[in-house]
Each structure stands twice: as structure tokens, then as C-alpha cells.
Structure 1
Amino acid sequence: MNWLLNISTHGSDLEIAGPEWSEAVSLLRRTGMDGFELYPAGAYDCTAIPKEIVGGVHLRFFVMLRQIWQNDREGLLRMFGSEQTVRHYYSGVNREAVISCYRSQLELAARFNVPYVVFHPVHYELEYVFNWQPPWGWRETVDLSTEIINEVVRDTPYDGWILFENLWWPGNFRLDSTDEIDRLLSKVRWPKCGIVLDTAHILNKNQELRTEEEAIAFLLRQVERLGDYRQLIKAVHLSKSLSGEAAKAGFANADPFCGAHDFWQRFSIALRHVRDLDRHEPFSHSMLGELFDLIEPDNVVFELAFSSLDEWIGKIEQQQRALQRFFPECRIKENLY
């Protein structure tokens, strides 16, 4: 297995990565990890990143895709308020913006020669972020997502794996049943398809989890239910999220946007709530190792939230301790805490 860390080209991550990514390279040596799963964002020139440290690419997470894909101008204006805001969000006003974005990121993946990219089969809108009651089902989302992927890969130099990541919102790809996987794979026209198992997203589905032991037991049951489909799990996003109370507070909030109508205000409020739900914390219990008795992914990404290098190292090493049988020689430095 390759053991990776998540990193983006957002400004805060670039500061930690250091000049010419020197701190990022040093971090890998310091922690014994193999590389990074890269989330390219903004206009950053990714050719500045040392090729040998990139192990995978996470494609853009647009979240809201149906209206732009269907060139539904009225729907876009209803959601975003103005064509200028639509253009700002997507870098365009029709499906060509989405195609262009994903094709350019697949070209980047090809230049880095990464074995996999990550794609979210998703469509969600701000008004359902708190109440989890969208008026569509997962089949519609899967069909939309496969239509997008099929168009994007029609012209690409990339030839690696496309891995589909689970989310927690109803009406999306949640891995609640193998029917979701069957429908998705039957419609995607790409020879190398698999799954990214996001452990925190599995946990976010259950608002009754209170302890890490309960969380891991639930995770193991959910993965075991997949049966032979577990062989499709080629990568894992490994982190913990115990956020049931935050989810319940969202369900009970009759006016979560506090009357705001401006798209960016509403987006900011929704984003704060999503971060409250999806916490990207490290596991610490050795029971976590049982997950890898059920699956044999090629890549495991420690997908953690951090605001400083020291915080990041502490969380990495906490999760390495939980998986110590996989890190028999990992560099655990007590003086870093």
C-alpha cells in the first residue's frame, strides 16, 4: 500500500508546503509517508510541484452540477443570483466550463503519471445542506455523474484509474447498497473504475455514534456489507468524524441561513456547517487496523484537517499509532507534541 497525505494548492496549504515544496518533501521523510493526493485549486502552476511526491489527484468538487450541466440558465440564476456569480463559481456559464476544468485536471494527472484520480458522484444544493431532504434520489445523481465523466474522458491523455468517492448526503453516492455501485459502473465508459472509501463520510451517515470504538465498529459493518464489491476499493480517505450532534442541530434549525439571500453569504454558512460535520480528525484506536483485514487498497490517504505543520505532524503520527502494525518503523517523535 502507498501511504499518502492530502494537500491542496489553496494558499494556506502552499504556505505549509514551503518554497519549491521543500517543507512538503521534508514532511514525507519525517513521517515515513510516500506522497500526496493533490487537490488542484485556483490558477496555481502545478508544474512547480516535484513530480515524484504526487501519488494521486482529487478532481474539483463542484457540488452543484445539474443546472450547469443541463445549461439551465433559469435554474442557475435562481441558485446564484447573477450570471457574474455563476461565471465566478464555474469559470463559465455552461457545461463547457465543467468539461474544460475536468479535462485540464486529467491532463495534469497524466503529466504527473498518477495511478488514480478521485471524482465525487454528487449533486447537492445549499437549501438541503442542513435538512438532508433533497427532492431527488441517488439514481438521478449517479446518472448525472456518469454522463459528465463519459463526456470528459472522451478526449483525455489520462489512462489511469477513476475512483468514485462516497458522500453522506441522501440523494448521492453513499455506499448504502451495492445497487449504487452496479448502476454507476454499468454506465461509465472507462476501463479502470473503482471506489475511494471515505471513512469519515461513512460515519457521518450515523448521528448516534459517540465513541471511536462505536464509530470503527459501524465502519467495519458498513464495509463488510459490500461483500465482494470490497475488491473495488482501490483507495481509502482515512479520517474520523463524530459529528452527530452538529447534524441534528442542522436538522432542527428552521432558518439556518439567517435570512441571507446572497449566494456567497449562504455558501459561506453552508461551508461552515459542512466543516462542522466532516471534521477530518485522526483515529487513535488500534481497532482501526481491522479495516485492512477487510480491504486491500492500493492507496491510503490520511485526509486530515490542519492549520500548521506541527498540528499536521501530530495528527499524522496519532493515526500511524492506531495503525502501528502497518508502520513498524514509523518515526514517532514524542517531542513533536
Structure 2
Amino acid sequence: MLELVNLSNDITDTEGLLGGSPARLAAFLEKFHLDGIEFMCCAPWDTSFHTPDIIKGFHLWFWPSWLDFWLGNEEALLQEFGSRENIENCFGVSREAWLAKWAANFQQAADCGAEYAVFHVAQARNSEIRCRSFAYNSAQIIEAVLDIINQLSTRLPSETALLYENLWWPGLDFTSPALVHELLSGTQHKCGLMLDTGHLMNTNTRLCCEAHAADYILQMVDGLGADADHIRGIHLHASLSGDYVEREKQRHSHPEHHLTAEEIMAYVLRIDQHQPFKTAAARRIVDAIKPEYLVHEFVPADYEDWERKLAQQQRSLYHAAHV
């Protein structure tokens, strides 16, 4: 099992976390006995900073709300984005232009020599995220994802696995084993699953502690049957935000248009907490699934916060008492 951390080359990571120092990154990986990083490329790739030897996985980009564009739903697009200019700034002028952006991102994964590439399977309009009343269902989203992926995955080397990651919005959320099977069997490239523990916890607002969360996660994995064997990686973090989600659903019972980017991000980060596990519930999950890739996935405030969170989660994995 390779043990990794998530890292991008956005300035918030290269400067905010690492102070512009590749040596600091190397020291961090060595201190925590990590095998490398799952890399997200948000700017031109500096190979002297994020060197190819440490890039084991690659996280592809994600557009949370894209299906209206793909299906040509102009009315919904204008209601969500406000203008044709905003739509084109987000996606480009056509399906082909958007696919070209995707193709370039897939090519970056290939250029990095990553062993796997992670793709989010989800769709949610900005106006829907707080009320959780969605225009599209998971089956529609997976059908469209397969259409897109089977046009793009030729950009990946045959040995680079495409790993589908779950979210709590419609799409791949692990609550429908039949749809998981459809996604895997319909993909023409070598593929598998990246289980995000926090995202799966976010599908059940009744979870109250890590022990219950581990029970739920393993129950959902067991429900996948033979397709559970396709879980090749885990994004490991905890998110017990159910009370907040339910309060927000009551406060915002209908779609809300024209939320600001700051409002959306603040809401998502309150749900998707990316906290370290504090108990051996983490080890129960990892021991049961036996992933090839274990990614400690956090959204740290600074370098010291990153160290604290990773140290806490590693204690939970290797030293905490069983729960």
C-alpha cells in the first residue's frame, strides 16, 4: 500500500503550505514516511518542485455543475450562470471546446506518469446544493459521464488506471450498487474506484461518531458485492456534518439562484470537513478494504495544521485502541 497526501500546485499550496520550498515538501514526506502525493495541476507544472518521482496519483479537474451544458439546456444555464459570457468563461463556446479542456487535463496526468487518475462523478447546480433538491438523477449523470470518459480516456496510458471518486451529490455516491456496476462495466479504459470516506459519510446525516461512520462505510462497501474489489484507493478523512446539513435544508428548502462563490465554498467546506480520524475506526476501514493507495486528504490552514492533522490520522491508523 502506498501512503500519500493530496497536494496541488496552486499558490495556496506551493506558497501557503510549503513556503515555495521543494525541500520543505521532501522533508514533510520523509518525516511522515509517505510514498508521495496525489497531485492536482492548477498551474503550469514545475517539475523541479513537484518532481515526477513523488507523483503517484493525479486528481483531475471537476466542474460541479456541467450537465446542463453537456445537454444544451440553455434556459437552466442562463438561470445558473447569469449570462452567455459567464457560461463560455466556465466551459468554452461548445462541447468540443470543453472536451478539449478535459483532454488537456488528461494529458497532464499522462505526462506526470501517474499510476492512477481520479475523476469525480457528480452533478449539482449551485442553486441546489443547500436544499438538496436535484434536477438530475444518478442514472442520468452516469450515462453522460460514460459518454464523456470514453471520448477522453485514450489520453491516458493503458497502464494508468482511471479511478472514479464518490461524492454526496447525485452521480456516484455508492448508494446504488447497480449504478456502480454500470459505470465500471461501461468504461472502455482500465478503471476502478476511489472511495472517499468523508464524502460517503456525507450521504448519511444521522451519523454521530466515527465508530458509526465506519460501520456505515463498510456496510455500503459490502453492498457493492463483487464490485467492491474495484476499490483501489481511499481518500481518508472524516466528516460528521449531518446536523448542519439538516439545519440548512430546513432553512433553504427551495433552489437559490445567484449564490456567490464565497457562499458556495463556505457551505461545501462546512459539509465536507476533511478532518483527521481520531480513533481506530480509520484502521477498521483500511484493514477491511486493503487499498493499493491510501491518501490522507485534508484542507489545511497552514503547514503546522497540515502536520497536526496528518500526525493525528496516522496515530489513529497505527496506534489508536480498537473501537
TM-score (normalizing by structure 2): 0.91
* C-alpha distance 78-44 of structure 1, shift in aligned 2 (>3 A): same
- Give the 5 Å matches for 1:281-292: 281-292=275-286
Partner of 1:166: 166
1:205 is matched with 203
Partner of 2:10: 10
Structure 1 residue identity aligned to 2:229: Q
More moved, 279-288 vs 194-203: 279-288
Cα offset, 1:72, TM superposition: 4.1
Contact 1:107 1:157 in 2 (8 A): no
Is the contact made by 1:69 and 1:98 (CA closer than 8 Å) also made in structure 2?
Answer: no
Give the distance between the partners of 1:111 and 1:254, measured in 2 at CA: 44
Displacement of 1:241 = 0.2
CA distance in 2, matches of 1:19, 1:242: 33
User: Aligned equivalents of 1:46 and 1:73: distance in 2?
Assistant: 38
**Offset, 1:187:** 2.0
Distance apart, 1:46 and its partner CA: 4.2
Q: Is the 8 A contact 2:69 2:77 kept in 1?
A: yes
Q: Is the 8 A contact 1:4 1:34 kept in 2?
A: yes
CA contact (8 A) 1:25 1:53 kept: no
CA–CA distance in 2 between the matches of 1:318 and 1:157? Answer: 36
Partners of 1:6 and 1:166 lie apart in 2 by 16
Q: Within 1, Cα distance between the matches of 2:289 and 2:319?
A: 15
Q: Distance in 1 between matches of 2:94 and 2:61?
A: 16
Amino acid at match of 2:210: E
> Is 2:107–2:155's contact at 8 Å kept on the other side of the alignment?
no
Matches within 5 A, 1:94-173: 94-157=94-157, 159-169=159-169, 171-173=170-172
Instruction: Letter of the 1:142 partner, please give it.
Output: I
81-90 vs 6-15, which moves further: 81-90
Structure 2 alignment gaps of length 5 or more: none
Using the aligned pairs only, state the percent identity. Answer: 29
Match of 1:313 in 2: 307
Give the superposition deviation at 1:80. 0.7
- The 2-side partners of 1:256 and 1:268 are apart by 19
**Contact conserved, 2:163 with 2:194, CA < 8 A, in 1?**
yes
157 and 229 in structure 1: CA distance in 2 versus 1, 3 angstrom threshold: closer
Matched residues in 2 for 1:145 and 1:63: separation?
A: 13
Residue type at the aligned position of 1:36: I
How many residue pairs match? The answer is 318
2:64 alignment partner in structure 1 = 63
1:74 is displaced (CA, Å) by: 4.0
The range that moved more, 282-291 or 116-125, is 282-291
Find the residue that maps to 1:231 and give its secondary structure.
Answer: helix
Q: What is the aligned counterpart of 2:264 among 266, 270, 287?
A: 270
Letter in 1 for 2:108: L
- Displacement, 1:136? 2.4
Once the two structures are overlaid, the 10-residue window that deviates more, 268-277 or 96-105, is: 96-105
Instruction: Tell me, yes or no, if structure 1 residue 302 matches structure 2 residue 306.
Output: no
Give the Å deviation of 1:29.
0.8
Q: Which runs of 5+ in 1 are unaligned?
A: 327-337
What amino acid is aligned across from residue 302 of structure 2 in structure 1?
Answer: S
- The aligned runs of 1:36-51 (5 Å cut-off) are 36-41=37-42, 43-48=43-48, 49-51=50-52
Which stretch shifts more, 287-296 or 144-153? 287-296
Q: Deviations over 1:94-140 (max 9, x none)?
A: 22233122211222211221110000111210121011121322100
Distance 1:17 1:94 in 2: 38
Distance in 2 (CA, whole Å) between partners of 1:69 and 1:158 is 27
Partner of 2:186: 187
Structure 1 length normalisation: TM-score?
0.88
SS at match of 1:37: strand
Aligned partners of 1:25 and 1:155: how far apart in 2? 30
Instruction: Report if aligned partners of 2:131, 2:254 keep a CA contact under 8 Å in 1.
Output: no
Q: Write the distance in 2 (CA, Å) between the matches of 1:3 and 1:187.
A: 29
Q: CA RMSD in A?
A: 2.1
2:214 equivalent in structure 1: 216
Say if 1:149 and 1:274 are closer, same or farther in 2 by CA, change over 3 A: same
Query: In the alignment, is the contact (CA less than 8 A) between 1:55 and 1:115 conserved in 2?
Result: yes
Question: In 1, Cα distance between the equivalents of 2:71 and 2:135?
Answer: 17
User: CA shift at 1:68, angstroms?
Assistant: 2.2
| Structure 1 residue identity aligned to 2:11 | G
Contact 1:18–1:24 (CA under 8 A) maintained in structure 2: no
Alpha-carbon separation, structure 1, partners of 2:29 and 2:252: 46
- CA displacement, residues 266-293 of structure 1 (integer Å, 9 cap, x when unaligned): 3331221111000000001113212233
> Using a 3 Å threshold, how does the CA distance of structure 1 residues 254 and 297 change in structure 2: closer, same or farther?
closer
2:236 to 225, 235, 238: 238
CA change 1:32–1:211 in 2 (3 A) is same
Partner of 1:178: 177
Instruction: Name the amino acid aligned to 1:207.
Output: T
